[in-house]
Structure 1
Amino acid sequence: MRQFIIFFLLLTGTGAAVQAQFNTSRLPVGGGGGGSMQRDTTKHEHEPDTLTLRYRYLDEPTDFMLDSSIYDFNLNYLRVPASYSTLGNNGTAARNLIFTPRMQAGFDPGFHAFDIYGFNHQNARFYTTTRPYSELGYLIGGQQEQMINLMHTQNRGQKFNFSFDYRKVNSPGFYLNQNTNHDTYRVTANYNSQNKRYHILMSYYLNKFNGGENGGIRADSFLHKPEYDRLRLIPTKLGGDATETATFFNTVIPVKNAYQEASFLLRQQYDWGRGDTVHVNDTTEYYKFDPVFRVEHTFTYTQNTYRYMDTEPDSTYYPSRYGFNILPANLGNDSVLSRHQWRILSNDLSLMQFPVRGNMAHFIRVGAGFDNIIGEFMRSSVTFQNLHIHGEYRNKTKNGKWDLQGRGELYLLGENAGDYMAMGTLSRYINDLFGNVSLMAKNVNKEPSYIYRYFELNHGKVYRNADIGKENITQLQFRADNRRLQYNLQANYYLFNKYTYFKSFSESEQFTGLFNMLQIIFHKRVNVGSFFWDADFAFQQIAGNAPINIPTIWTRHRFAYNGQLYKNLNLYTGIEAKYNTPFYADDYSPVLGQYFYQNTEQFSNYPEVAAFVHFRIKSFTAYVRAENLNIFVLDRNFYAPSYPSNNFALRVGLRWWYIN
């Protein structure tokens, strides 16, 4: 805690906390190229405490603004959507109850249980800002749960910007041996040369995930025995009765999955086009450059290490689930260990043309990439390469009404030869009444993730499936976003061929037949004066006997009062309830870090209820939540077989903004 306090004092000493007034102008940011750069030769002795801050994602030409709303605690603060289900503790393996298949061609190691908590290049933000901007967040919850969020970005002159993000999740959990301790870091930078022709984008992230694995509780009957009212007394299948050491910056976890993901990306762009100096008046002028042709090179180096460690294994747990025996404790230490490390070196060269001067969202891109991939395991290693080509056409009109995109990728040679992805989208803003409507079609043919084909442990154990072929997934989507009527509607139709899944703790399988799924996702806000009803609804229906476990209906409702009190207090307070219909929830394999299909144990869960008070006073935001209120009147829910929900807990999350 002392380190946290020191950092807090240093941060608050650099600037005053003032209210961020976000400018919604749509000017280009670093890496977008082109656009205009204002140079004001007048001097201002006193600048207003306002901020113009915007950002872009790596391959997206559209600007975005920071979201300062306080409605959604899960999305805005935890950064884990409400539809995600964990094993009960913040930071444990998570999956989305609104089914979202992975639709990317190319190589994939297959370890995704902690993805929702980490950074990647796709969600990296490249900022431009008129003032240095910082965010500080801190959360404390039940059973000593703590979180820290830090973010800072600033421009150094008009040509260079950098940003830094840090996130800490430390949660001992309500049940024994379920500690989590995650540290994630991200640094981004973007640079534009003085003549606006040369651009650099840099992204680096480091994810350190430490997820405690207890295998679930030994028997559900413990939940109804008075002597186990304190959930931490209930014996678990893994970890034994070992005493856990948990401090905020140093946590010892007896059985865990320890993942470390690090990646560095450097993108360089050089443009040919036309530049002009535009004189506004005697003291202000703009330099405007419009690219016509661009050469782009992207270098990426990724090193991911995935480990499972149980140094004092339970001799009764592994034989029936994983097929190997554990020596008794009196005969020595018989640890269960696995280690999979992947190193990927990628180079990509692209050529881009901008047909319409001044419209950076209208372009044609063609390119090729080469990947060198090395995998190292406990006793073996593999090396292979991939060569792929890609192309994209994007046309977002200047008036913002039409947005057309077509994109494709094909793997010509290497381990993933024959993989491809093809997608097209068409969006049209109709008017204020009907909002924005879009259509999308996507087809992916891909080699299943490597973990479905090979997983290695000590004890001389290798899980291998050489009979898995490429799987094919088609998605058709209709989407409507209407601000005036305050609703969002999304309808997805999926068609699966050779769907790959885990059927047990260690066995993968491929469903050889075709099946399809219809999915409708709907959000609607209804307000009467200052009283609001936010309804989230998802309907999912599978045609065919497919090995996918999903609830037919998932829904969340928030009934709240929302208003501004006094001069600066924005208040959002009420009740939140989540519910899903009964279904055969997936089981979980700790050693592989994978959810797997089971059809023997069905769960009929009760609504999860929370009361909340969210408020913002200028640059300070607070989230106060009383969660799992249903425990007082209803039976306990289960997230997976042997993984019950927690007790009542109080959470307090704080966030400050600083303009330096």
Structure 2
Amino acid sequence: MLLQLLKKMPVVLLLLLGNRALAQVQLRGTNGAVGQRPQVGYDAQGRPIKKAGGQDSLQRRDRNADSITIFFKYYDSSRLRTIDSSINDFTTRFPLPYYYHSLGNYSTASQSFFFNPLMKAGFDAGFHQYDIYAFTLENTKLYQSTRPYTELAYVLGSKAEQLVNVLHTQNKKSNFNFSLEYRFNNAPGFLKTQNASQNNMRFVAHYQTLNKKYEVSFIYISNKSASSENGGLQSPSKLDSLALNDPYELETRLGRPGRALRNPFNTTVNTGNTYKNSNLVIQHHYDLGTKDSLVTDSVTYRLFYPRFRIEHILRIGSSSYQFLDNFPDSTNYARYFNAVPGGTTVRYYDAWNELNNEFSLISFPQKNNLAQFLKAGVAIQNLKGTFDTTSTTRLYNFSVLSEYRNRTRNQLWDIEAKGQFYITGFNSGDYEAYISMQRMLGRKLGYLRIGFQNVNRSPSYILNPASSFPVKNRGSYAKENIIRFFASYDHPKGWKFGGEYFAVTNYMYYDSFFSAKQHATLFNVLHLTAEKKFKLARYWNLYTEIHVQQAPGQDVLNIPTVLTRNRLAFEGNFATNLFLSTGLELIYNTAYKADNYSPFIGQYFVQNTSTISNRPTIDAFVHFRIKSFKGFFRLENLNTINLKTGSFNKLNFAADKYPYTGLWLRFGLWWNFVN
């Protein structure tokens, strides 16, 4: 019932926006927001500290006030953060970042313009083309809020593209918070057999006993990606001579020929991929330590400083990956993919169930700094795989892990080191190691961060002969080893510099629609980046980001040498409550042999016959915020204009035979409420 309601959120959203009974939010501690000044502060662990001049507290709030104190921390992090209310960068709110590309339609298979190998040891099913759209454990937020807080978002784009996002969080008591987040987007596409949708849901509950000794977090995450696959256009050259100036006229390599139904409510996939995953995580611990108290004029706070912790994390997960073609055309399969469909329906299906138990002991050297700890533990993972709904296999892994973190109280040093080694089981011999150190060089010099990462991992299970997906050359591949050095520097005047260097051995990649290869010899990749905000005039700003990459010079990896984004914006605070940012955005990458895509195995693969040289992408935007309301109006892909005809049909390409959209209009709004 809840999912049916959420799928109809465009209508529900309009009704909510007209409800004047909801109070407007004024956030304390958010970027650019205003509100009543609270009389209680919080230390680095979120514990209340009395401020001079008042007696307010989390337990005693003026419920008639329209202010709120809200903050959050990411899962597996102790650093408190505030909600971002900035408006100048739309990509911070849109799930697909500017440095990723899809297959031309939002919600379809995505790929980073940067070298982005999988840096995770242990078991991996092998399907990652929709990861950027998903809710994950790593991007889960644990909130604390003095008032119930709700955020509604709706984005409407051309060709009936839409995105709906709902977030609600509240503290039932000072020691119990829950949040619910739901996101749905549907993009019918501008080509045939291109409709795609993403359905994401996340529920988080966090509870701590009044004596502070026991704490438990409950996290449930569900993701569904449904993306039709058309295999690209049969004749991309016909884009310049369309009778109705609509690419929907053109035939594609997959899908039912001549079928032309663009339905904004259709999420059915007759030819394409449907991936589902759900995860339940229960993390709880019991602490031994020192009791203390904080006495104010009206409230006595019970404080507890952990010195030793016993922790258990339970993960229960399920995932399924399916390619289905209900209308296979044997002629197109042979002509474009050199394949023969095995019957009237083509179907490949892998599914996995996981049970993971992690037990750890944690010590805290300093009683008043929970951001410094030493952790040691073990993890036991049990897996069950099902292929084509009949064949099954069972796997297990046993690993040891350790971690050390220290964010000093003066915030001059921030150190994080962690590792995991798989002792026995299917992924025996896999390991991952990570260390980073950040140092504040001074108020006038900023922050310097350096780090090292090394991963030794088994090939993904899609390359195992048991998988039902049609990878031809399966076999006993060697473990992939990736070393990464990285550094970044943030200057107080707005300069940001960064770099990362990869050294890769036994690199696994795909080189056709159905085959994989392993490059045994060592190769290197270098990626440098620079960012700066230039103040041109009182209301004029230029935001520049430049990325430079050096590819290995071998036929195993193709990435653009340069990627840059520049935003020229007229922005400022006008008419008291109006914050405005409007201007032009330009994104450009140098020509390169962009990877092709195999819809059958869900993988981008290297090709060396076609070079893609695109025009710079140019977007016009008007972003604004009035109190708790944020609006985004964007006219994208102005670069596709054909000056000879006045139409927008000079399309860029995401991959071979996959064009981007033409002129694209998006309007989005985000509205926050305090209940």
Q: Secondary structure at the match of 2:621?
A: strand
Q: Flag the 1:2–1:106 CA change in 2: closer, same or farther, 3 A.
A: closer
Find the partner of 1:9 among 4, 15, 38: 15
Q: Flag the 1:44–1:388 CA change in 2: closer, same or farther, 3 A.
A: closer
Q: Secondary structure at the match of 2:27?
A: coil
Q: Aligned residue for 1:376?
A: 386
Q: Aligned residue for 1:358?
A: 368
Q: Aligned residue for 1:293?
A: 308
Whether contact under 8 Å (1:448, 1:470) holds in the other structure is: yes
Does residue 511 of the first structure (1) align with residue 519 of the second (2)?
yes
Whether contact under 8 Å (2:41, 2:49) holds in the other structure is: no
Q: Distance in 2 between matches of 1:513 and 1:6?
A: 57
What letter matches 1:87 in structure 2?
A: L
Find the partner of 1:385 among 377, 380, 396: 396
Find the partner of 1:428 among 413, 436, 439: 439
Whether contact under 8 Å (1:35, 1:358) holds in the other structure is: no
1:391-540 → structure 2 map (5 Å cutoff): 391-454=402-465, 456-457=467-468, 463-482=472-491, 484-528=492-536, 529-540=538-549
Q: Distance in 2 between matches of 1:160 and 1:8?
A: 31
Structure 2 unpaired stretches of 5+: 1-6, 32-39, 644-649
For normalisation by structure 2, the TM-score amounts to 0.92
Q: Flag the 1:456–1:335 CA change in 2: closer, same or farther, 3 A.
A: farther
Q: Distance in 1 between matches of 2:311 and 2:305?
A: 16
Q: Distance in 2 between matches of 1:448 and 1:376?
A: 18
Matched-pair identity in %: 36
Q: Aligned residue for 1:330?
A: none
Does residue 175 of the first structure (1) align with residue 191 of the second (2)?
yes
Q: Distance in 1 between matches of 2:408 and 2:575?
A: 43
Compute the displacement of 1:256 (Å): 1.6
Does residue 65 of the first structure (1) align with residue 82 of the second (2)?
yes
Whether contact under 8 Å (2:570, 2:582) holds in the other structure is: yes
Q: Aligned residue for 1:579?
A: 588
Q: Aligned residue for 1:215?
A: 231
Number of aligned residues: 648
Q: Distance in 1 between matches of 2:49 and 2:313?
A: 25
Whether contact under 8 Å (2:471, 2:601) holds in the other structure is: no
Whether contact under 8 Å (1:394, 1:406) holds in the other structure is: yes
Deviations, residues 125-169 of structure 1 (Å, cap 9, x unaligned): 111111111110111111111110110100011111011111111
Whether contact under 8 Å (2:188, 2:264) holds in the other structure is: no
Deviations, residues 602-648 of structure 1 (Å, cap 9, x unaligned): 11111010100000111111110111101114842111000012111
Compute the displacement of 1:265 (Å): 0.3
What letter matches 2:379 in structure 1?
A: G
Q: Flag the 1:254–1:396 CA change in 2: closer, same or farther, 3 A.
A: same
Q: Distance in 1 between matches of 2:69 and 2:16?
A: 24
Instruction: Calculate the aligned-residue CA RMSD, in Å.
Output: 2.3
Deviations, residues 177-207 of structure 1 (Å, cap 9, x unaligned): 1001211101111101010110001111110
Q: Distance in 1 between matches of 2:60 and 2:547?
A: 55
Q: Flag the 1:44–1:352 CA change in 2: closer, same or farther, 3 A.
A: closer
Whether contact under 8 Å (1:162, 1:189) holds in the other structure is: yes
Q: Aligned residue for 1:304?
A: 319
Does residue 598 of the first structure (1) align with residue 593 of the second (2)?
no
Compute the displacement of 1:227 (Å): 1.9
Q: Flag the 1:346–1:26 CA change in 2: closer, same or farther, 3 A.
A: farther
Q: Flag the 1:10–1:384 CA change in 2: closer, same or farther, 3 A.
A: same
Whether contact under 8 Å (1:34, 1:289) holds in the other structure is: no
Q: Aligned residue for 2:3?
A: none
Q: Secondary structure at the match of 2:331?
A: coil
Does residue 648 of the first structure (1) align with residue 663 of the second (2)?
yes
Find the partner of 1:559 among 551, 561, 568: 568
Q: Distance in 2 between matches of 1:39 and 1:273?
A: 28
Q: Aligned residue for 1:22?
A: 29
What letter matches 2:144 in structure 1?
A: T
Q: Flag the 1:539–1:236 CA change in 2: closer, same or farther, 3 A.
A: same
Find the partner of 1:74 among 87, 91, 104: 91
Q: Distance in 2 between matches of 1:640 and 1:564?
A: 41
Whether contact under 8 Å (1:41, 1:284) holds in the other structure is: no
Whether contact under 8 Å (1:209, 1:260) holds in the other structure is: yes
Q: Flag the 1:278–1:39 CA change in 2: closer, same or farther, 3 A.
A: farther
Q: Which runs of 4+ in 1 moved over 4 A?
A: 10-14, 23-26, 32-47, 244-250, 320-324, 454-458
Whether contact under 8 Å (2:61, 2:146) holds in the other structure is: no
What letter matches 1:335 in structure 2?
A: T
Compute the displacement of 1:545 (Å): 1.8
Whether contact under 8 Å (2:13, 2:152) holds in the other structure is: no
Compute the displacement of 1:464 (Å): 4.9
For normalisation by structure 1, the TM-score amounts to 0.94
Compute the displacement of 1:9 (Å): 3.4
What letter matches 2:539 in structure 1?
A: S
Whether contact under 8 Å (1:354, 1:362) holds in the other structure is: yes
Compute the displacement of 1:222 (Å): 1.1
Q: Aligned residue for 1:48?
A: 65
Q: Distance in 2 between matches of 1:152 and 1:45?
A: 20
Structure 1 unpaired stretches of 5+: 328-332
What letter matches 1:512 in structure 2?
A: A
Q: Distance in 1 between matches of 2:624 and 2:616?
A: 25
Q: Secondary structure at the match of 2:91?
A: helix
Q: Distance in 2 between matches of 1:44 and 1:500?
A: 57
Compute the displacement of 1:369 (Å): 0.2
Q: Distance in 2 between matches of 1:354 and 1:150?
A: 37
Q: Flag the 1:584–1:296 CA change in 2: closer, same or farther, 3 A.
A: same
Q: Flag the 1:568–1:466 CA change in 2: closer, same or farther, 3 A.
A: same
What letter matches 1:172 in structure 2?
A: P
What letter matches 2:438 in structure 1?
A: S
Q: Aligned residue for 2:246?
A: 230
Compute the displacement of 1:513 (Å): 0.6
Deviations, residues 99-147 of structure 1 (Å, cap 9, x unaligned): 2211111111111111111111111111111111111011111111111
Q: Distance in 2 between matches of 1:364 and 1:270?
A: 16
Q: Distance in 2 between matches of 1:87 and 1:15?
A: 40
